[in-house]
Amino acid sequence: MYVLSISKCRALGLLAAASLAIATQPAFAQSKSPADVTIALSSASFSIGSLRLADQAGFYAENNIKPNFVVMDSGNAAAAALLSNSAQFAASGVSTALAARGRGQPIVCAANIYKGLSASLILAKAVADKTGVSPTAPVEQRLRALEGLTIAVPSATSSFTVPVKQSAEKMGINVKFAYMAQPAMAAALETGAIQGMMAGPTNFVPVIMKGGGVLWIDGPSGQFPKDVVPASSSCLQTTESYAKANPEVVKGMVQALQQTADLIKKDPDKAKSLIAKAFPKMQPDLLNEAFKVEAVAWTDISLTAEDVKHEIALLKAMGSATPALEKLDPASILIKP
């Protein structure tokens, strides 16, 4: 004969109730696997480093996301991967997303990755010396010295192209452009195939350190005229259909970026140590310099209708805005997870 105490009866009752609650829960609540997402990067540039930093900090995992990064040759290539469903997200300039929208392609922007201009203009040292203009001369003089030179940029619609092209057109000077991936620019500069390059620190700092190039116009510090500088050099993009079907994944991606921004503000030393793991091949002095230049731009993930309006105006001034794009409501390209 078994006699159960009141306390044991209560314990068994609670256990039974808990077991029943678990059994009646939906299966996905018990074992919801992380969402596998592919993120197409416009380049391996340090300017999109916050995406890598978020991974090292474990923020994607915290938001139930398993990222797979694929480096493309340009923003256009990243957009193509997105539109072909080879990737669920892309990281490239707002101008690239707008160019796609102008052609009727349903790309939307979920968050800013890099606020402002991440690229700087570098001239081959021999070319810079030949201009007779000092790298510390007024910016207008340095811009006029570009007359007849060939400058490498990632693509025709890249946010890196706009400042040089717009400045040249406004000043009435002739600048030629060569389109190539950033990692290829240093070799092209060394061989004389190009005379200058618009690139991020990881691609141009080694050139300067070797004595082959001169920092001609510094983008992140604001040396280019403000009216030709993009509001964002890179943003997180996806398609309308994916965003509607996977709102929680999009929300998680944006949350990971916000957590990264907060980490940089609260503990920059920890953030730098984590980014070093994401870019293990970077020399410490190069990484320190790049982090100093780039990290501040990662701390504001906001992207507004005014930012988009500014980008449309830049594309229009470059002759790249289609009639559909000029009629586009700037807010329609933005999504709020």
SS3 letters across 195-226: CEEEECHHHHHHHHHCCCEEEEECCCCCCCCH
Q: CA 286 to CA 291: how far, in whole Å?
A: 8
Same domain, 92 and 235: yes
Same domain, 237 and 102: yes
Same domain, 41 and 105: yes
Number of domains in the chain: 2
Same domain, 159 and 298: no
Q: Tell me the pLDDT of the chain (337 aa) as tens digits.
A: 333 333 333 333 433 333 334 333 333 333 479 999 999 998 888 889 999 999 999 999 999 999 999 999 888 899 999 999 999 999 998 988 988 888 888 999 999 999 999 899 999 999 999 999 999 999 999 999 999 999 999 888 787 898 999 999 999 999 999 999 888 999 999 999 999 999 988 788 889 989 999 999 999 888 999 889 989 989 999 999 999 999 999 999 999 999 999 999 999 999 999 999 998 888 888 888 888 888 999 999 999 999 999 988 888 877 766 777 778 889 999 998 7
Same domain, 218 and 267: no
Nearest 5°: the CA angle 50, 52, 55 is 110
Residue that is last in its domain, among 228, 262, 284? 228
Q: Is residue 124 situated within a structural domain?
A: yes
With tokens 């040759």, the residue in question is 73
Same domain, 108 and 243: yes
Same domain, 203 and 141: yes
Reported residue count of the chain is: 337
Q: Is residue 127 situated within a structural domain?
A: yes
Q: Is residue 21 situated within a structural domain?
A: no
Same domain, 167 and 185: yes
Q: CA 330 to CA 313: how far, in whole Å?
A: 11
Q: Is residue 300 situated within a structural domain?
A: yes
Same domain, 253 and 326: yes
Q: Are strands 89-92 and 232-239 parallel, antiparallel or unpaired?
A: antiparallel
Domain with 173, as residue range(s), is 120-228
The distance of Cα 151 from the centroid of its chain, to the nearest Å, equals: 22
Residue that is last in its domain, among 228, 249, 279? 228
Q: Is residue 301 situated within a structural domain?
A: yes
Q: Is residue 22 situated within a structural domain?
A: no
Q: CA 6 to CA 251: how far, in whole Å?
A: 48
Q: Is residue 252 situated within a structural domain?
A: yes
* Cβ(115)–Cβ(231) below 8 Å: yes
Residue that is last in its domain, among 212, 228, 244? 228
Amino acid at residue number 248? E
Which DSSP category does 330 fall into?
A: G
* C-beta neighbour count of 149 within 10 angstroms: 20
Same domain, 237 and 224: no
**Cβ within 8 Å of residue 319, ≥6 positions away:** none
Q: Is residue 60 situated within a structural domain?
A: yes
Q: CA 86 to CA 76: how far, in whole Å?
A: 14
The structure's pTM equals 0.78
Dihedral angle, C-alpha 69, 70, 74, 78, nearest 10 °: -80
Same domain, 125 and 222: yes
Same domain, 137 and 173: yes
Give the CATH number, domain containing residue 183.
Answer: 3.40.190.10
